[in-house]
Amino acid sequence: MKYHNKKCEYKGLKFDSLKERNHYIVLEHLEKTGQIKDLRRQVKFLLQPSFKLNGKTIRAINYIADFTYLKDGILVVVDTKGFRTKDYLLKKKMFQYKYGMDIVEV
């Protein structure tokens, strides 16, 4: 198990951790009460496209947000974090540079 997270389900949806599932339940309630709109899960953001170098294809770099939603017409990107890996911290910097916004960590 990665970082002691326990995979779980809720309404047929699979989550990587209890923390992620619990935050989804909160966001789902906020959407139902009209406080947020367009709640989405596992949204992919391209950080760097794939490219060729010396005849080899170098894979694209993507960041996958746990959740995105609109609040007052503004996109909010959320990541539920128990442990901030070096990989995540690098992708967060790339995301901030490319998209000019921050990731809300819960």
How would DSSP label each residue in 46-68? EEE--EEETTEEEPPEEEEEEEE
The 3-state DSSP class for residue 9 equals: strand
Q: Is 72 exposed, middle or buried (0-12, 13-18, 19+ CB in 10 A)?
A: exposed
Checking if the pLDDT of 5 tops 90, the result is: no
Model confidence, pTM: 0.90
Task: Count CB-CB contacts under 10 A for residue 95.
Answer: 21
What digits encode the pLDDT tens for the residues 92-105? 999 999 999 999 99
Checking if the pLDDT of 75 tops 90, the result is: yes
Checking if the pLDDT of 4 tops 90, the result is: no
What pLDDT sits at residue 2?
52
Identify the CA nearest to 98 among candidates 58, 70, 60, 41. Answer: 60
